[in-house]
A = this chain, B = another copy of it.
Amino acid sequence: MPKTLRLDPDRLFPSDPETRACARTLYKIVADLPIVSPHGHVDPLILVENTPFADPAQLFLRYDHYVTRVLHAAGFGLGELGIPTLLGGDVADPREAWRIFCSNWLLFAGTASGYWLQHEFVDLFGITEHPCEDNADALYDQIIAALQTEAFRPRALFESFGIDVLATTDDPMDDLAAHAALRADPSFTGRVVPTFRPDNYLNPATPGWSDRVAALAAWNGTAAADYDGYLGALAGRRRYFVEHGAVSSDHGVTQPFAADLSHERAAQLFAEALAGRLDAEGARIFSGHMLLESARMSLEDGLVMTVHAGIVRNHDSGTFERFGPDTGHDIPVATSYVESLRPLLERYGNDPSLHLVLFAVDETVYSRELAPLAGYYPAVYIGAPWWFLDAPDAVLRFRAATTETAGFYRGSGFIDDTRAFLSIPARHDMSRRLDASFLARLVREGRIDRQSAEQIIYDLVAVVPRKVFKL
């Protein structure tokens, strides 16, 4: 008989009864507050088109590389799990992929993905049994039936989830038609904002960079080889994003690195890059200069600047070639922000109108670098635990590692950073429970009084993300 699946109303609260009672009280203050999601990867088209989600495999597996990587590690091929190859060919039967997932449910025990999925299964679909081989087909049918109902249409979920703001992540040359359509549609009242993600336009080492530079120039009416035109085009596209509601630009870099070049030197590297003569070190320096230039543009147009650093993307080249990016083998590495970002911080770090949010997957930087930097520079905010660290124990480690140096008001607020639309409420609920747990411990240890804790948890959920992301 399959095991019972349920949600403990006290889940994630500390075990000590008195601390738990305090956590419960604190959680109640924020449990039902609207969701602010200032950075994520949901495709805005699902809200424009509002068509029902296809099936459980596509919904829970295909786009969630947190989930597929666990099954891949257990020996299943990505193809079996319903991920199409770039070479074309048949895609696995979603029902078969779903069976693999259900039969291996125990592998997700204790993982962040398992926690969110359990929340979604119980809370959204009323599932009461652990997925397993025996009930896989029944669960598939149950979920697919729900997905056909009006209540499970994307817009209905957006509303029932209580989402106040949802940010997407977009290519700088995207016409943002989906965002425009949503804003123009009187039947949709949610706020969906684009995010300017220019990495591929700033780093000459990315394949196709010169084509993208040419596209920028064409849009701008300048020559591709004109460095000032390039800067102007970037600033212009940023303005276009601002006009379409964007509040931030996002920078994904392997190592955080800023360089402060003269205009002449930068223009020279730009020319060499276009001529295909720039080596790896030159590309690194030019990219670093463009990070600094992005900060300068931020001070002009007000876009919040988020930096996601420390990930080696597409570690498994063979899989990347067959299945593309975001297939589960992006691996963190040691990161350092102190000397490498210094040129940017020395120039702009003392300006409170710049909001520079630094995200990390190397948790050693929390106490060593990010809290001390954010505890001094008014421009620096500590990004919420990201990616692999977006999980209960890791979040509590993050709070413990940063609060004693930087307090509660130098963080970004919770960021779900997900493309798994249905997981958004589970993730924000998790974060609120963990904030309640952390604060309750400090109350119980006599380090914060209860009244202050009540104010802090409200601020963490309702005030901080809006302030940091200028919402």
Contacts and interface: CB of A to CB of B under 8 A. Distances in A.
Nearest to A8: B446
A446 B122 CA distance: 13
Interface in A1-22: 3-8, 10-19
A111 B16 CA distance: 23
A400 B393 contact: yes
A368 B332 contact: yes
Contacts of A328: 375-376
A445 B408 contact: no
A176 to B, nearest CB: 32
A367 B310 CA distance: 13
Contact of A316 (B316, B345, B406): B345
Copy number in the complex reads 3
Interface in A268-326: 312, 315-319
Nearest to A379: B73
A352 B19 CA distance: 45
A10 B394 CA distance: 27
A410 interface: yes
A455 interface: yes
A139 interface: no
A407 interface: yes
Which among A19, A115, A380, A405 has the greatest number of chain B C-beta atoms within 10 A? A405
B376 A72 contact: yes
Contacts of A236: none
A96 to B, nearest CB: 19
A456 B108 CA distance: 11
A73 B8 CA distance: 39
Given A15-B16, A317-B346, A111 B405 contact: yes
B329 A338 contact: no
A128 interface: no
A372 B331 contact: yes
A61 B13 CA distance: 37
Contact of A388 (B350, B367, B380): B367
Interface stretch (A167-175, A223-231, A358-366): A358-366
A384 interface: no
A247 to B, nearest CB: 19
B407 A377 contact: no
B106 A455 contact: yes
Interface in A393-408: 393-394, 397, 400-401, 403-408
A109 interface: yes
A392 B404 contact: yes
A213 to B, nearest CB: 29
Contacts of A331: 338, 369, 372-373, 376
Contacts of A401: 393-394
A4 B70 CA distance: 49
A62 interface: no
A315 B350 CA distance: 12
A407 B108 contact: yes
A232 B363 CA distance: 44
A240 interface: no
A436 interface: no
Contacts of A392: 404, 445, 447
Contacts of A11: 445-447
15 contacts: A7-B446, A12-B446, A15-B19, A15-B444, A73-B374, A73-B380, A108-B407, A109-B408, A115-B447, A312-B339, A315-B376, A332-B372, A363-B368, A367-B389, A394-B404
Interface of A: 3-8, 10-19, 69-70, 72-75, 106-112, 114-115, 130, 312, 315-319, 328-334, 336, 338-339, 342, 345-346, 349-350, 352, 361-364, 367-369, 371-378, 380, 388-389, 391-394, 397, 400-401, 403-410, 441-442, 444-449, 451-452, 455-456
Closest 10 CB pairs of A and B: A8-B446, A11-B446, A391-B404, A15-B16, A75-B352, A110-B403, A393-B400, A15-B444, A69-B376, A15-B19
Given A109-B407, A110-B403, A394-B404, 7 more contacts: A16-B16, A73-B406, A111-B403, A331-B376, A333-B369, A334-B368, A362-B368
